[in-house]
Amino acid sequence: MSLVIIWGSRIPVVRIARMCGQYAKPRSSEMEMYEGKEIHAFRGDIINGYEPTDRKPDPDRLLRAYFHSAATLNYVRSIIGSGFADLHNPDKWSLHHVRSKGTRQEYQTIIDRLTDALNFMKTIGADFPSSSLSNSLNSIDLFMSHEGLILDYEQCLTRLLKDPETGNLKWYNVGAHFLWVGDRTRSIDEAHIEYFRGIRNPIGIKVGPSMQSDELKKLLNIVNPDKEIGKVTLITRYGCDNVEKFLPGHIKAVKESGHVVVWTCDPMHGNTKKTSSGVKTRYFNSIIEELSKVIHTHKNNESQLNGVHFELTGEGVTGKCFEVIMYNGVVIYSYWMRSSQ
Binding residues for phosphoenolpyruvate, by number, are 18, 206, 237
Q: Which residues on neighbouring strands pair with residue 32, listed in sequence order? A: 39
CA distance 48 to 59: 9
Known binding-site residues equal 18, 206, 237, 269, 311
The answer to whether the beta carbons of residues 203 and 225 sit under 8 Å apart is no
Environment class of 8 (CB within 10 Å of its CB; exposed 0-12, middle 13-18, buried 19+): exposed
Please, what's the largest Cα pairwise distance for the chain?
A: 73
CA distance 89 to 2: 16
3 state SS of 303 = coil
Helix residue spans in 167-260 (DSSP H): 191-196, 213-223, 243-257
The answer to whether the beta carbons of residues 232 and 205 sit under 8 Å apart is yes
How far are the Cα atoms of 95, 96, 98, 100, 310 from residue 314, in angstroms, in the given order? 11, 10, 7, 11, 13
Residues belonging to the chain: 341
CB atoms within 10 A of CB 124: 7
CB atoms within 10 A of CB 275: 8
Known binding-site residues for Mn(2+) equal 269, 311
CA distance 204 to 192: 12
At residue 277, φ and ψ (nearest 5 deg) are -90, 0
How far are the Cα atoms of 15, 20, 43, 52 from residue 67, in angstroms, in the given order? 23, 9, 18, 24
CB atoms within 10 A of CB 78: 10
